[in-house]
Structure 1
Amino acid sequence: MQELSLYQKDYLGKRIMTKKLRIGVVPYMNAKPLIYTLTQQSDSVELLFEVPSLLPEMLNNDHIDVAIIPSIEYFRNGNYAIVPNISLSSLGTVESVKIFSKVPIQNIRTAALDKSSLTSCTLTKILFKEYYHLSPQYTSWNNQYDISRIDTDAVLIIGDNAMRASDNGYFTLDLGQAWFEYTGLPFVYAVWAVKKTHRMPDINILLQNAKECGMKLVKTIAADESQRLRFPYEKCLNYLTNSMKYNLGKNEIKGLQTFYHYAVSLGLAPQGVKIVFNET
């Protein structure tokens, strides 16, 4: 078990005296380095796992105190504050956000979007319109385990299921790589966020510490995920160390702002939303 810092012990001790810190998390491998050590603190932290599209509503309704939310929902809601220095992002190939198509990408006329990911759906629409000059008809789809049954030209799949699906027989498009080719920037899929009206600056250090500890234990996490998902260990380790990035620095923020700009231009997000951090 990872040794807690004095700050964590003090902070978690205070939470025990009041209530558990309720944390909303996606159930995918990509988030495990951010929460690995928190799973060992069940006396003071309660982790609630849900698909990305449902976590913002849980946060809005105060069912959780902090959540990993889709980056597009930060801009659509306008009532969140971002925990600094942490994100789920990529710089190039991401592996877990992919289009599988029966036809060459430039021939796509219909596409089914995995409704569990709001950010990836928005990213798909941006890249198809701006990069590939496509305007397909979109439908929602959540049959995440059998892409052979789709009746559209293409389908968007995210998370562990995207890594599990076979490329055999399909034209594939990695959206992280496509975004990087188009903009030269990182893409931020999700951020830790709290409600602006319930800011908790103290948790910034807690979550940052958890991220740093998780990255130090990434080989252990990769081994656990390999067993859970029945993926090769090397595949999990490469994904967690090369495909996924966990910082939120200047370049990631620029990527986030660029994504917002395109979303606004296509009418997929409201204008005038600023990036606000979970600070006093």
Structure 2
Amino acid sequence: MSSPVAMIPYTNMAPYRQLGAPRDCRFVPVVPRVSIGALLSGEVVAAAVPVGGLKALEGVVETVGRFGIAAEGECMSVLFFSCVPFEEMHFPRTIRVTGESASSVRLLYLLLGSIHGFNRLPHIAADGRVFDGELLIGDRALVKGQATAGEERHFITDLSQKWFDIHRLPFVFARWVVRKDAPGPIKSAISDWLDEFKAREASLVEQAVPEAARTLNLPPAAIRRYFQVIRRSLGERDVLGQQLFIRQFEERGRSLLFQPAP
């Protein structure tokens, strides 16, 4: 029986899907935040898990080489849309945040806190209420970002770019991990699969462009650029960026990142 591997159902993972699943494995569509619980429960044996969830997975998983999802500068699909500039987004402004992410919401929290102070963060708007800003990730962010870029009264902040502007380091959104108790052959299969992906990355990325463009109804050039800004094989600077993010969140994070609006 094949082992389940979580596969984020966003376009940024399309090049991986071009390669197909690792031997003796099958893909299971899982959004980033849900992959944390799926790994904890053993529902999946491996995933590109959000860096924001690594703490909860200590002792349960191990990283597979230096593979993940990162960007040095813009990433195009972790975007904050607002009616005022990011530098004005503080209390009493209100926001909405995606429930699909474990890293991006933490990133938004750290960025806003570093600019405005953690006691002046915007609040979460109640359901049905008008809000001043919204965090979106994945395909929804990519499509909306392309559609609203340049429109008046719309401000778009690429959170990865904002992180880079402040720290001059890449931001790592996810790392490939495998459960420590996975059978040896499965661990080897996932490691071999990622090594093969690295060797064939350029051609797999190009193969993924046409279908992704049709699916999202975006120009192939926009998809190609999107695939090019994403880093999948990580280097030393990516590791430094990941370590900085984890250290900052350990120092400044809290159980409830954004308070509900009164």
Query: Smaller-chain TM-score range?
Result: 0.7 to 0.9
Whole-angstrom distance in 1 between the partners of 2:111 and 2:214: 34
Of the three residues 58, 80, 87, the one matched with 1:99 is 80
Whole-angstrom distance in 1 between the partners of 2:238 and 2:254: 20
Is the 1:24–1:48 contact (alpha carbons within 8 Å) kept by the matching residues of 2? Answer: yes
SS of corresponding position for 1:86: strand
Give the CA RMSD over aligned residues: 2.3
Aligned equivalent of 1:236: 223
Whole-angstrom distance in 1 between the partners of 2:16 and 2:123: 33
Please show how residues 48-67 of structure 1 align to structure 2 within 5 Å. Answer: 48-67=28-47
Whole-angstrom distance in 2 between the partners of 1:74 and 1:63: 17
Whole-angstrom distance in 1 between the partners of 2:125 and 2:73: 26
Whole-angstrom distance in 1 between the partners of 2:5 and 2:13: 12
Residue 208 (structure 1) shift: 2.2
Cα deviation code 1:8-62 (max 9, x no counterpart): xxxxxxxxxxx213110111111122332115x7x83311112111111111111
Whole-angstrom distance in 2 between the partners of 1:94 and 1:123: 13
Residue 174 (structure 1) shift: 0.5
SS of corresponding position for 1:121: helix
Is the 2:94–2:125 contact (alpha carbons within 8 Å) kept by the matching residues of 1? Answer: no
Aligned equivalent of 1:174: 158
SS of corresponding position for 1:217: helix
Whole-angstrom distance in 2 between the partners of 1:176 and 1:236: 18
Matched, 1:266 2:252: yes
Aligned equivalent of 2:258: none
Aligned equivalent of 1:34: 16
Residue 111 (structure 1) shift: 1.8
Aligned equivalent of 1:83: 64
Cα deviation code 1:237-267 (max 9, x no counterpart): 01101x2111122111111000001101113
Please show how residues 1-280 of structure 1 align to structure 2 within 5 Å. Answer: 19-38=1-20, 44-79=24-59, 80-108=61-89, 109-133=93-117, 135-139=120-124, 151-165=130-144, 166-167=148-149, 168=151, 169-198=153-182, 200=184, 201-202=187-188, 203-241=190-228, 243-268=229-254
SS of corresponding position for 1:22: strand
- Which aligned runs of 4 or more in structure 1 are off by greater than 4 angstroms? none
Whole-angstrom distance in 2 between the partners of 1:199 and 1:264: 32
- Identical aligned residues as a percent: 24
SS of corresponding position for 2:100: coil
Is the 1:114–1:140 contact (alpha carbons within 8 Å) kept by the matching residues of 2? Answer: no
Give the letter aligned to residue 105 of structure 1: F
Whole-angstrom distance in 2 between the partners of 1:150 and 1:158: 21
Residue 212 (structure 1) shift: 3.2
Aligned equivalent of 2:259: none
Range 206-215 or range 110-119, more displaced: 206-215
Unmatched tracts of structure 1, length 5 or more: 1-18, 144-148, 270-280
Whole-angstrom distance in 2 between the partners of 1:23 and 1:138: 36
Unmatched tracts of structure 2, length 5 or more: 256-262
Residue 76 to residue 137, structure 1, CA distance change in 2 (3 Å): farther
> How many matched pairs?
242
SS of corresponding position for 1:93: coil
Give the letter aligned to residue 69 of structure 1: V
